[in-house]
Amino acid sequence: MTTNTAAAPGTTPQVIVLDTGGQYCHLIARKIRELGVYAEIRPSSTPAAQLSGAKGLIISGGPCSVYDEGSPTVDPAIFSMGAAVLGICYGQQLMALSLGGRVRKGEKGEYGLAFLEIAEGANPLFAGTPARQQIWMSHRDAVEKVPEGFRVIAGTDTCEAGAMVDTLGRLYGVQFHPEVVHTPAGRRILSNFVFSICGCRPDWEPKHQIPAIESRIREVAAGRSVFFFVSGGVDSTVAYTLCLRALGDAKVHGAYVDTGLMREGETEYVKDVFASLGSHGFAVEDASTGFLRALSGVCDPERKRHIIGEQFVRVQEEILERGHFLDSQWILGQGTIYPDTIESGGSANADLIKTHHNRVPGISELIASNRLVEPLHLLYKDEVREIGRELGLPGDLLDRHPFPGPGLAIRCLCSESSAPVERLGPGWLIPVRSVGVQGDCRTYMPVLSVGGLDHDQARRLINEYPGINRVVAAVASQAEIPEMKVCPSDLSAQRLARLRRADAIVRELSAESGFDRQVWQFPVVLIPLGTSERPDSVVLRPIHSVDGMTAQSVTMDVELLQRMASKLLRVEGICGVFYDLTHKPPATIEWE
């Protein structure tokens, strides 16, 4: 992770999250900040002496088993230093094991919705929440015996120790994830811990951090100018605007690289955005030929991301050299935010979920040479939007759906060989693999196609069939699914044009109907499934989220869906239309 702090309230954090490598670690911190209390992340192994002053500690979930060699640990002294402690998932198991309890190594994982039964008796952690409540589970192991002095205060049908407490020591553990939206009472549970148990006071509001962020930009720049590669999205535009304010127009330059992997009309939109900012140092670089040539014949998604990242660095160096920006008076600026670093394995214990284009070796070299400023890298998407509103940026920009840096390349799936679909349970196994995240670990598995838009069925099937991490519904097609097959395909200009047209249709109909305001993001994915005449199919992936760390698949109005499918099937080469029913977790938002 980078060390250039984006925001700091100038006070000791009241809550510190101890990171054991869980994908939700930063989501926990964001939820605490959302309550108005400043929280920071520290490695789980941080000595207790370095945590003094914190009123509360939260041990995050993680991808390991507590019995794995080299698995993350905590300093046992944290349990007696006076701060209240909450262990979540792996954090509860680690707490139990550290204090003399016993953890059962799970043979089968539990992922998804469950129902928690709260034990009778007063309990400040669950105060004001239902006696039976929906929660979100994502674990393999579970606490089998609580430590001496603890008692079980909640459980589920499959997990007896769903929550435990040592009231005297103010030590709490929960097997579920209160920080995710799928646990409806999770906000109240965290609020109870932060205020009632820890005794914290409100001290955090993102928009009030603007002066500190601008001061830090000037400190990192140290008289040098900043060069941005901007995307026109929320993050890079807010970061660019902050640098304009902090350093002045003459010190900030930007380039938009047209990779040939962009949506219809994207380049024109970005030009208009930066013209409205009054930036005189902005230019467009057409690098599409080089990107498409480098990606020709590449099917593996990680290779795609690495190639795109290295191409970005190569283009960056060409632009900087051409503009005489390679001397010591220039540094690189980026709009990186928290989820970019944690999902790229930016935490010491984190499992790599996917590789981001701004975390490839070329960018790491810039970090090492102290030539990088990332004003937003400790902020979450909702906090970035709040800062953007305070800066006076237009609402249509701030409310724009996120779009991945690698562009349409990671939404255009490829295959090196042919493969037929196969019958599996109530559906068809499609031999196109997508990225998932289960138990804080990366998975890469085939997709199950079923009939009907049933999210509950999708969740059950993923738990029932361990070889899948994603379920889609077949909406409409030009051929029966058993007649379709996965065909050899690469990232060709023809397939990108096909996806670009499909994406434009979806965006147009979503905007006309107002559906785009009901979702946080709406990826449109092209998969190489079809017939010889129509070799590709489209997958619709509308989701609701706050910052991308978790997401829920959103159901679309049937009439709108049918209109959308009808138009998509008229696009040359498209055989079928599918609808992604999978939440995150167990699937990631993007397919690659």
252 is a domain residue = yes
Are 118 and 33 within one domain? yes
590 is a domain residue = no
Q: What is the pTM of this model?
A: 0.73
Give the separation between CA 521 and CA 394, rounded to whole angstroms.
19
Q: What's the CATH code of the domain at 144? A: 3.40.50.880
User: Which alpha helices (H) appear in 323-380, and where do they start and end?
Assistant: 338-342, 361-368
In the DSSP assignment, the letter for residue 106 is P
Closest alpha carbon to 360 in 295, 306, 299, 304: 306
Are 263 and 350 within one domain? yes
Are 326 and 429 within one domain? no
Task: Provide the domain count of the chain.
Answer: 3
Q: What's the pLDDT score for residue 350?
A: 55
Give the separation between CA 133 and CA 145, rounded to whole angstroms.
23
Last residue of a domain, one of 362, 380, 407: 407
Place of tokens 């990671």: 410
Say how many C-beta atoms besides its own lie within 10 A of residue 222's C-beta: 10
Are 564 and 435 within one domain? yes
Q: What's the pLDDT score for residue 363?
A: 56
Give the separation between CA 2 and CA 214, rounded to whole angstroms.
17
Are 248 and 187 within one domain? no
Are 441 and 417 within one domain? yes
Q: What's the CATH code of the domain at 377? A: 3.40.50.620
Are 233 and 339 within one domain? yes
Last residue of a domain, one of 172, 197, 222: 197
State the Cα angle at 204 between 200 and 208, rounded to 5°.
Answer: 160
Last residue of a domain, one of 197, 215, 240: 197
Give the separation between CA 585 and CA 550, rounded to whole angstroms.
7
Rg over CA atoms, the chain: 24
**What is residue 414's three-state secondary structure?**
coil
**What is residue 249's three-state secondary structure?**
helix
Are 287 and 426 within one domain? no
269 is a domain residue = yes
Say how many C-beta atoms besides its own lie within 10 A of residue 589's C-beta: 23
Are 193 and 222 within one domain? no
354 is a domain residue = yes
For the annotated catalytic residues, the residue numbers are 89, 177, 179
Reading the block at residue 143, the tokens are 């606490």
120 is a domain residue = yes
Are 188 and 222 within one domain? no
Reading the block at residue 333, the tokens are 């600026």
Parent domain of 33? 15-197
313 is a domain residue = yes
Say how many C-beta atoms besides its own lie within 10 A of residue 232's C-beta: 19
Are 486 and 542 within one domain? yes
Q: What's the CATH code of the domain at 445? A: 3.30.300.10
9 is a domain residue = no
By the 10 Å C-beta count (0-12 exposed, 13-18 middle, 19+ buried), 478 is classed as: middle
Q: What's the pLDDT score for residue 348?
A: 54
Are 25 and 147 within one domain? yes
pLDDT in tens, the chain (592 residues): 333 333 344 458 999 999 998 778 888 998 999 999 999 999 999 999 999 999 999 999 988 899 999 999 999 999 999 999 999 999 999 999 999 999 998 766 667 789 999 998 879 999 999 999 999 888 778 999 999 999 999 999 889 999 999 999 999 999 999 998 889 999 999 999 999 999 999 999 999 989 999 999 999 999 999 999 898 889 999 999 999 999 999 999 999 999 999 999 999 999 998 988 889 999 999 999 999 999 999 999 999 999 998 898 888 888 878 887 778 898 989 998 876 755 444 455 655 545 544 544 555 666 778 889 999 987 888 889 999 999 999 888 998 888 888 899 999 999 999 999 999 999 999 999 999 987 667 889 999 999 999 999 999 999 899 899 999 999 999 999 999 999 999 999 999 999 999 999 999 999 999 999 999 999 999 999 999 999 999 999 999 987 777 889 999 999 999 999 999 999 999 999 999 999 998 999 999 9
Q: What's the pLDDT score for residue 351?
A: 57
Give the separation between CA 139 and CA 156, rounded to whole angstroms.
13
378 is a domain residue = yes
State the Cα angle at 220 between 218 and 223, rounded to 5°.
Answer: 55
Give the separation between CA 503 and CA 526, rounded to whole angstroms.
10
